[in-house]
Structure 1
Amino acid sequence: MEIWDEYVEHFDYNYTYEFVPTHEEAVFHHEPTCLKEYTCVSLIGITVAIFLLGFCGNALVIWISAFRMKKTVNTTWYVSLAISDFVFCAFLPFSITYMAMEDWIFGRFMCKFTSSVMFINMFSSIFLLVVISMDRCVSVMFPVWAQNQRTVKKASLVVVLAWLLAIIMSLPSMIFRDVGSHLGRTICFNNYTSQALSQKFVAGSRFITGFIVPLIIIVVCYSIIILRLRTNRMTKSSKPFKVMTALIVAFFICWMPYHAFVLLELNHQNYDNRILTTGLQIGTSLAAANSFLNPVLYVFMGNDFKQKFKSCVLSRMENAMAEEGRTLSRYLSRSSSVDGRASTHI
């Protein structure tokens, strides 16, 4: 995947670079050294852990949402997030193999495709979080309308549109990702050599559409929600938003370092390469970790940790997601009845 190259490209600190293959490179035999280095082995271990936790955890969320819970708007949101993270984790073995072998053996198509999957995950996750935040805001501001108009069919349509937009935003990975030979090995890299401004445009567009704009929308939505709840003196009704708030905070904490160091890398000549490399490695690990944090948050949000740990994992995940739907439904019903009484007095 695109940002995983930092783990294996020792000859250059940038995840984007230029090279000209030579005859010497064609006969040069590369001996992988990753498994002999503590840092590289540690990174592989972290990635394997992320793969196992994310793959199993998100598969569990998908299974519970599909077979053990009633299909609602809320479960539609959460299962869509879980599918996004599950697909990302399913492709991590390609990156793990690349790190260990220091040689891309899967061909040009998979080089492009695996990188695209990573950014489809990023964009689909943040777009869905924006949609959920707007859904919560509308439910609080217009409870009667929301109770009548919020349907699973409409939610599913919105999810499809969010995924299509995420795929469109991920097309640069399919366009610029390429494979080549360097020092006797095949590498998967970003080939911006023919269009110098493309790298800045791609990095900037990802930062704006995948971080800044969603952050602004989510902050505005939650500000409205908080003000509305305080005005109605219904602070206790904020309980349904705990899981969603944790998911949003986790996403931005996990992805902010990656975006920051990618932007710094655009002017890599002004910074210490070791700092950029370390920062991108940390940012990469945090970004990948976000894919297994979501199912963990479903389980351990709310009650005391020990009680949740001792209880059945399946039932805790089901209760954590169902609790939000029940509480939100009570809030909508209560608000609907209040509005109904108010209309009879007018």
Structure 2
Amino acid sequence: NPGVLGSSPASGSSAGTAKVLSSLATFTCVCGMMGNGLVVWLLSCRGQRTPFCTYVLHLAVADFLFLLCTAVTLYLETPMLAYEVMERVRSFTYTASLSLLTAISSQRCLSVLFPIWYKCHQPQYLSAVVCALLWALSLLMSVVAALFCSEFWLGVESQCLTVDSVFSFLVMGIFTPVMVLSSVTLFVRVRRSSRQWGRRPTRLYVVVLASIVVFLLCALPLGISWFFLYWLDLPQEQKTLFRYVACLSSALSSSANPVIYFVVGSQGRRGLWEPLGAVLHRALREEPEGEGRETPSTGTNDLGA
């Protein structure tokens, strides 16, 4: 049950701290929306996409919507129906982002553990189907939570506690452990292969691990505040400050992915004036760079093959 950021106004220094955190979170959200919007535009301009480009496109959409809802809820008064709707949409996009990252790490792990199956037997539209199912699951979870926990519906506290317990088990007991396990497996396997065969890890490997590490460090506090903090008997002032910190950290997490893509895909000074589409394509390549050769720039913003 998403908490109410402004349910009890803080006083003195706490109010000043909350205002600073709110301003920083708003600035981060605006920058993050610009970055994720750029990623969506670059990937949408390309006709045929790799499976991981499909995942990244959906992840960028989820992060963009999450940042938009976060920025809006920071300035809405409560209780209001509009605030409740935005909080539910924010919860929906947060769950979608978490599940998409889990799918990305799991599929990348499978591509390293079973490369022959991945290249020859993977269904063509697997990534698109998985993304659709994860969006549907996230929407279902949010609708159920809205029905049982909303102040504007006939929500019962005991039913809301049950719903929160089930969802916290899905998020903290399934999605997060699977993401961590697949990431650790991927890291160990790639490091071992690099030492044994002297091969450099692909840029996509770095992108996946960096995105997951940032999410675990920055975005999990928001999930903790949603699923656990609401039921703890803490002073309202402490809850409010923690929620602002969680908003800022989660905004940083959703804003960091475009930065990761372009930093990992860049070539330093050599690629300073390189088209952003080429940089993004290089970061999301599944194949190792052949004999140190890079994909040449085309002078356009198209991702290219």
TM-score range, shorter chain: 0.7 to 0.9
Give me the whole-angstrom Cα distance separating, in 2, the residues matched to 1:208 and 1:289: 25
Residue 112 and residue 302 in structure 1: after superposition, are their counterparts in 2 closer, same or farther (change >3 A)? same
- 1:294 matched to 2:239: no
Which consecutive aligned stretches of 4+ in structure 1 deviate over 6 angstroms post-superposition? none
- Alignment match, 2:125: 153
Shift of 1:318: 4.0
* 2:182 paired with 1:221: yes
Checking the alignment, whether the CA contact within 8 Å between 1:50 and 1:289 is kept in structure 2 is yes
Counterpart amino acid of residue 177 in structure 1: S
**Corresponding position of 2:219:** 255
Partner of 2:282: 322
Asked whether the 8 Å contact 2:96–2:134 carries over to 1, the reply is yes
Q: Percent identity?
A: 20
Judged with a 3 Å threshold, the aligned counterparts in structure 2 of structure 1 residues 58 and 273 are, in CA distance, closer, same or farther, namely same
Instruction: Write the distance in 1 (CA, Å) between the matches of 2:110 and 2:252.
Output: 31
Q: Please give the alpha-carbon distance, in whole angstroms, between the structure 2 residues aligned to 1:285 and 1:206.
A: 23
Report how far residue 223 of structure 1 moved: 3.4
Q: Which amino acid aligns with 2:136?
A: L
Q: Give the structure 1 partner of residue 231 of structure 2.
A: 266
| Paired position in structure 1 for 2:8 | 10
Q: Which of structures 1 and 2 has the bigger CA Rg?
A: 1
Partner of residue 272, structure 2: 311
Per-residue deviation, 1:272: 4.2
Provide the aligned C-alpha RMSD in A. Answer: 3.4
Please report how far the alpha carbon of residue 214 of structure 1 lies from its aligned counterpart in structure 2 after TM superposition.
1.9
- Count of matched residue pairs: 284
- Structure 2 distance, partners of 1:282, 1:140, is 37
- The answer to whether the 8 A contact 2:2-2:91 is kept is no
Are 1:170 and 2:142 counterparts? Answer: yes
Q: 1:50: Cα distance to partner?
A: 2.8
In structure 2, runs of 5+ residues without a counterpart are 291-305
**Pairwise CA distance, 1:136:** 1.1
Q: Distance in 1 between matches of 2:230 and 2:67?
A: 26
| TM-score of the aligned structures, taking structure 1 as reference length | 0.70
> Structure 1 pair 164/103, CA: closer, same or farther in 2 (3 Å)?
closer
SS state at 1:197 partner: helix
- How far apart, in 1, do the equivalents of 2:185 and 2:27 lie? 38
Equivalent residues of 2:202, 2:286 under 8 A apart: no
* Conserved 8 A contact 1:237-1:327: no
Q: 2: CA distance between counterparts of 1:152 and 1:53? A: 34
Give the corresponding residue for 1:341.
none
Amino acid paired to 1:65: L
| More moved, 170-179 vs 131-140 | 170-179
